[in-house]
Each structure stands twice: as structure tokens, then as C-alpha cells.
Amino acid sequence: MDKTITPVRSLRGSISVPGDKSVSHRSLMFGALAEGETVIRNLMPGKDVGNTRSILQQLGVRITDDGDAVRVRGAGLFGFSPPEKSLDAGNSGTTMRLMSGILAAQPFVSILTGDESLSKRPMNRIIIPLGQMGAIIDAQPGGTCPLTIHGRTLSPIHYHSPVASAQIKSCVLLAGLHTEGITAVTEPALSRDHTERMLKAFGVPVKRENTTVSVQGPAKLTGTEIMVPGDISAAAFFLVAASLIPSSELRIRQVGLNPTRSGILTVLRRMGCEITEENPQSVGDEPMADLVVRSGRLSGTVIEGDLIPQLVDEIPVLAVAALFAEGETIVKDAKELRVKETDRIRALETNIGLMGGRIETFEDGFRIMGPQKLTGAGLDSYWDHRIAMAFAVAGLMARGQTVIRRAECAEISHPGFYEDLEALSHV
Ligand code: S3P
């Protein structure tokens, strides 16, 4: 689908963004591994989470819709049935990497496949630690999927991950839940900690010391009630758009503010953006609040180091903010952007160039001097939901029309994104 974006005068009103994607995946998976029933409210309706749900169903887990909640009947750690066919993770790295940790410990063989984008993404990062635990996983040359996972009894390890990645950490911890003993993961910087927080809600003790997290297996998860907070990564597009477009004011209701995810707020506030938090709540150890954002004048900043894992998915839209901010913005230590749904540094370079903007790229980041004037252009999403939505925001600020090809990939994390944007737009 081609989506045409035209400039708007202001964004005003209030909006609820979909439930957090990371929390949604985990609530389904942990609910499936638990004993008893788990009731999930505000589960993200996007495609990635749908893939996790359908894989669990193919493993025999009963998942039903019940009004405003989703009910998961727990199968227990070893209660899955062998799948009849290969399991499709679609575009979802979280589905593939976390499910690999679970499947590696099951007493059967399973095959995990993905779409064209996921089939290019690195899987050795989980195959290596799972192999150290005794798993046997056949991948394609270069360590990509489809993965054939020969499930078996695993042993605990202490894994020192070369990358700060919640997907790697969660994969190893999930495998560790099935073993006899302590499984620990040390990462170079703290990545999002939803797994740790949610395991506690399911009754599993989790120890953390600096950037080392450990669990003791075999664990017993007990079904629970989960309220999924609004996804801060989905809120990010509205936060940036409202702060850039004059006379804008938005309320984004009940957004998750887990400190390992809220780097976008730190950076936008540092750039001069006015964001206030109202009606704070904490449900199941995940803090949330309404965010109220008003337009303002932004200035450039440096985004690097331990902050990167706290906003890794928000960097494409932060690049758009940087184009309109006064002065220099530098992003470094963000090599992970090269292996997301697309090479996001390359996608930013191409699309900003097509809009007549300038960006200097490095292997691990980029430099942008602002403010710049952008001209509407024909762009590709590269089938990356965050690239599609970031350039929809850029299109609101450009001169003329912007057409985003393959724009429907926004549905991966925010079904109805363009309609929500239009509903808030004043032209
Ligand atoms: C996710 C972790 C992040 C993030 C992804 C979701 C998760 O990936 O980019 O969108 O749910 O654990 P990495 O942990 O690989 O950085």
C-alpha cells in the first residue's frame, strides 16, 4: 500500500497507543509456560504478537478472547505438544529468539521460519549460548533462519553476551528456567528488563546484580493477571510529531515508563521538549502514566553508550527530530541498528537523502545538522514498521506530499497508525 502524507498545521487531542509489544509477547509466552490461567488485558493487536500467539496455539496452548481480555491456559514448562508443521515467526525477532529458548528445552523437534527480513537477521547470537547449554540447532549458512531446533535436556550456564540485547538475555533465561541449576546472563549494558519483572509476577525469583541477571531452574510459573501498558515505542512517533509541529498538544494515555525503555523521554527533554507525566500507576511492576507533550524548540544532542539500549527502537524517529532541531545531533554505539527489521542507518540515509536532507552515517550511528528543510518524496518503508512511521512524521513537516511505499507494515506494531495520526491532525 502507498500512503500519502501531507503537512498538517498542528496535532491536538488525546490518544491511546497499542499495548507494549515486548510485554505482550512475554505475557503470552510466560502464560503458556505457567501452571493455571493467565488473564492479559490490553494485549497488543499487531502482527508480531499475533505470530507468537499462533505459534503457541500450534504447540497446543489454549488461548481465547474473552471480552477485553485474552486468556491463556498454561501448559507448564514441559506441557507443549510437538508442532505438526513449521512455526512462522513472520517479521518478529522477539518471537523467534525467545521461542528458540523455550523450544530448545522441549523433548521434540521444531522448525522456526520467518519472512524475508527476519530470514536475514543474525541468529548465531542465540544459537551460540543455547549450544553451550547443550541445544542442537541447525541454521542456514551465515546463521540465519529457518532454524531446526532439536529439543533436549539443557544444562545451566553463565553467559557473557557481547551485545546488550533483551532478546538474547530473555532467550537464555527462558531456556534456563527448564534446567537444573542457576542460569545467568551478563550483558555489556542493561537492556530492557520486562522478562525479569514479569517472571517475578509469575512467582519466579530473579536475581540482578549490575548487568548480571540469574534464574534458578527448574522454575514454577504460576498464572497471573497482566495489564499491558501502552507501548512507549509507539508513543515515540506522536511525541516527536507533537513536539515538532507548532501549536500542538497531545495527551498519550497510560504509556509504559519502565526506566529501561524510557530513554526517548530523557533525550527529548534534553533536546528541549516539554513532556509531563500525569495519572501515574504501577501494575505488575511496570510503571505507566499519561504523557502530555507540547510543541517547542528543540536543539541537537549526543545519544550514545548505555542510553542506546533504552531507546534503540526510537532512533529512526529521533533522527527525524534531529533534522528539525537546532544544531548537531550525534548517535553512536548503535551498531545494532544495522541488524533490525532492516539496516536502519542505511534506510535513514536513503530516505533523508530523497527528501533533500543531509545525514552523515557511520557504521554505528550518524550525525545530523539541523534545522533542515525537507521536501516530500517517494520513499520505501523497507518493510520496517519503524521506518514507515518515522517518515510519516517527517512527511508531516515536509514541503509537499510524501508517499511511503509498503506503508502497511506499520500494522506490525500499530494497527490503525495512519488513522490515529489523521484523527489528531488539524490541516
Ligand atoms: C525487544 C528487544 C529489542 C528491540 C525489539 C524488542 C524485546 O531488541 O529492538 O524491538 O522484546 O526483547 P534487542 O534486544 O535485540 O536489542
Per-residue model confidence as pLDDT tens digits over 267-291: 999 999 999 999 999 887 899 999 9
Under-70 pLDDT residues of the chain: none
Question: In terms of DSSP bridges, do strands 109-113 and 225-227 run parallel, antiparallel, or are they unpaired?
Answer: unpaired
> To test ligand 1's pocket by mutation, which of 22, 167, 199 has the most ligand atoms within 8 angstroms of CB?
167
Q: What is the mean pLDDT of the chain?
A: 98
Task: Determine the Cα–Cα distance for residues 84 and 243; give it in Å rounded to an integer.
Answer: 50
Q: What residues does CATH 3.65.10.10 cover in the chain?
A: 3-19+229-426, 21-227
CA of residue 66 to ligand 1 center, whole Å: 29
Nearest ligand 1 atom to alpha carbon 25: 11
Tell me, yes or no, if 313 is annotated catalytic. Answer: yes
Question: Ligand 1 center to residue 167 CA distance, Å?
Answer: 5
Pocket of ligand 1 (CB under 6 A): 22, 25, 94, 165-167, 170, 191-192, 312-313, 336
Distance CA 172, CA 335 (A): 22
For atom 4 of ligand 1, which residue has the closest CA?
313
* 189 Cα–ligand 1 center, Å: 14
Q: What is the pLDDT of residue 263?
A: 98
CATH class held by domain 21-227: alpha beta
The residue to mutate among 26, 165, 174, having the most atoms of ligand 1 within 8 angstroms of its beta carbon, is 165
Distance in Å, CA 326 to ligand 1 centroid: 30
Q: Which fold has domain 3-19+229-426?
A: UDP-n-acetylglucosamine1-carboxyvinyl-transferase; Chain (3.65.10)
Q: Which of 20, 231, 313, 384 is catalytic?
A: 313
Centre of ligand 1 to C-alpha 187, Å, is: 14
Ligand 1, atom 11: closest residue by C-alpha: 22
Q: Whose CA is nearest to atom 13 of ligand 1?
A: 165
User: Distance from the CA of 339 to the center of ligand 1, in angstroms?
Assistant: 11
Ligand 1 atom nearest the C-alpha of 125 is 15
Q: Are 252 and 233 in contact (CB under 8 A)?
A: no
Protein residue closest via CA to atom 9 of ligand 1: 313
Q: What is the pLDDT of residue 283?
A: 81
- Nearest atom (ligand 1) to Cα of 233: 10
Closest CA to 40 of 16, 17, 63: 63
**Which pTM was predicted?**
0.98
* Mutate-to-test residue for ligand 1 from 22, 48, 333, 389, highest number of ligand atoms within 8 A of CB: 22
Gap from CA of 142 to ligand 1 centroid (Å): 21
